């Protein structure tokens, strides 16, 4: 059965501090080019039936308003760092209008952290108006389904921390990684569109560099690759883009692509 068509919107393409970074006056942070203004990394996936978001960081509310996301079926979480979960409280609006809890999918370790960070949402006696969240545990070895979307978890390493990427048909999304096991690479191969984190040019303890991301995209034979989770240290969007090989792109906030 063919995979449903996907529209993909990059809601945020920045690293944990965002771009511009608070207090920084470098050329990137001072840039007036909108492509150099990056909210925390998150992505919107829309099929004919289903709308999901991967990660709900501190900019979640702003991202939903900017892109008029009036219906949201589920949120997938890659891991528990604050720049990927801090906006979960704002699902309250969807609770109100959709009249149901928000389905949130993540590994057991990530969900345990969510229950700590948003303890008031899971209290035995809840204060009026707290977010209503339905937790679903992902086994990183098992494919799962949300409505018409089959989703394959892609476990990767963020230094010593396990993080999930996700494959949906011909599309694979990976953030916050600096190592992928060979057996997992086989799950990614065949993707027509690959999204990878590429923090900066210089080596980093827990993120791919731009060159490492380029090399990995080539190794995985991805026809198209987009790079996210970019810091201000990467440089100006337009300048870096001029240096990239064909079919390798710096993503930017608001970029939309379609996969038939």
- Position 71 scores a pLDDT of 98
What's the pLDDT band for 6 if we cut at 50, 70, 90? very high
pLDDT digits (tens, 9 = 90+) for 210-240: 999 999 999 999 999 999 999 999 999 999 9
pLDDT digits (tens, 9 = 90+) for 103-120: 999 999 999 999 999 999
Q: What angle do CA 140, 144, 148 make, to 5 degrees?
A: 150
- Position 228 scores a pLDDT of 98
Q: What angle do CA 200, 203, 207 make, to 5 degrees?
A: 65
Handedness of CA 217, 222, 224, 228 (dihedral sign): negative
Domain covering 6-259: architecture: 4-Layer Sandwich (3.60)
What's the pLDDT band for 42 if we cut at 50, 70, 90? very high
Q: Can you list the alpha helix ranges (DSSP code H) found in 30-130?
A: 60-66, 82-85, 92-98, 108-117
pTM: 0.97
How far is CA 223 from each of CA 78, 115, 181, 214, rounded to the nearest angstrom?
24, 39, 21, 12
Q: How far apart are CA 94 and CA 52, in angstroms?
A: 12
Supply the mean pLDDT for the chain.
98
What's the pLDDT band for 30 if we cut at 50, 70, 90? very high
Q: How far apart are CA 59 and CA 95, in angstroms?
A: 18
Q: What is the mean pLDDT of residues 70-80?
A: 98
- Position 188 scores a pLDDT of 98
pLDDT of 253 over the 80 cut: yes
Closest CA to 84 of 9, 165, 189, 2: 165
How far is CA 14 from each of CA 39, 40, 130, 132, 256, rounded to the nearest angstrom?
5, 5, 29, 28, 16
pLDDT of 138 over the 80 cut: yes
What's the pLDDT band for 55 if we cut at 50, 70, 90? very high
Question: Which secondary-structure segment (H or E) carries 9?
Answer: strand 6-12
Place of tokens 């203004």: 37
Q: What is the mean pLDDT of residues 16-28?
A: 98
Q: Give the three-class secondary structure for 172.
A: strand
pLDDT of 153 over the 80 cut: yes
pLDDT of 142 over the 90 cut: yes
Q: How far apart are CA 167 and CA 206, in angstroms?
A: 21
pLDDT digits (tens, 9 = 90+) for 184-200: 999 999 999 999 999 99
What's the pLDDT band for 126 if we cut at 50, 70, 90? confident
Quick one: what percent of the chain has pLDDT higher than 70?
100
- Position 120 scores a pLDDT of 97
Q: How far apart are CA 139 and CA 123, in angstroms?
A: 25
What's the pLDDT band for 82 if we cut at 50, 70, 90? very high
Q: How far apart are CA 175 and CA 156, in angstroms?
A: 9
Q: 248: left (phi > 0), else alpha (psi -120 to 50), else beta?
A: beta
Q: How far apart are CA 221 and CA 194, in angstroms?
A: 10
Q: Can you list the alpha helix ranges (DSSP code H) found in the chain?
A: 60-66, 82-85, 92-98, 108-117, 182-188, 210-219, 237-243
pLDDT of 1 over the 90 cut: no
Question: Which secondary-structure segment (H or E) carries 43?
Answer: strand 42-46
* Phi, psi (degrees; rounded to nearest 5) at 126: -95, 140
- Which residues, at least 6 apart from 80, have a Cβ–Cβ distance to it below 8 Å? 106, 109, 110, 113, 114, 117
């Amino acid at each position: 059965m063919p995979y449903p068509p996907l529209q993909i919107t990059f809601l945020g393409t920045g690293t944990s501090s965002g771009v511009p970074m608070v207090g920084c006056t470098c050329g990137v942070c001072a840039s007036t080019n909108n492509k150099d203004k990056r909210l925390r990394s998150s992505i919107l996936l829309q099929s004919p039936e289903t709308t999901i978001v991967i990660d709900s960081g501190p900019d979640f509310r702003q991202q939903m308003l900017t892109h008029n996301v009036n219906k949201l079926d589920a949120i997938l979480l890659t891991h528990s760092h604050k720049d990927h979960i801090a906006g979960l409280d704002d699902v309250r609006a969807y609770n109100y209008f959709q009249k149901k809890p928000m389905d949130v999918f993540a590994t057991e370790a990530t969900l345990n952290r969510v229950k700590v960070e948003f303890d008031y949402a899971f209290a035995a006696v809840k204060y009026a108006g707290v977010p209503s969240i339905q937790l679903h545990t992902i086994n990183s070895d098992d494919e799962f389904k949300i409505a018409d979307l089959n989703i394959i978890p892609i476990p990767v390493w963020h230094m010593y921390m396990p993080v999930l990427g996700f494959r949906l048909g011909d599309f694979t999304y990976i953030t916050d990684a600096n190592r992928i096991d060979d057996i997992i690479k086989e799950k990614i191969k065949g993707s027509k569109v690959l999204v990878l984190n590429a923090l900066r040019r210089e080596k980093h303890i827990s993120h791919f560099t731009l060159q490492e991301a380029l090399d990995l995209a080539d190794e995985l034979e991805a026809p198209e690759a987009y790079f996210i989770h970019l810091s201000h240290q990467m440089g100006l969007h337009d300048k870096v883009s001029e240096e990239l090989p064909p079919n390798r792109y710096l993503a930017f906030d608001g970029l939309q692509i379609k996969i038939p």
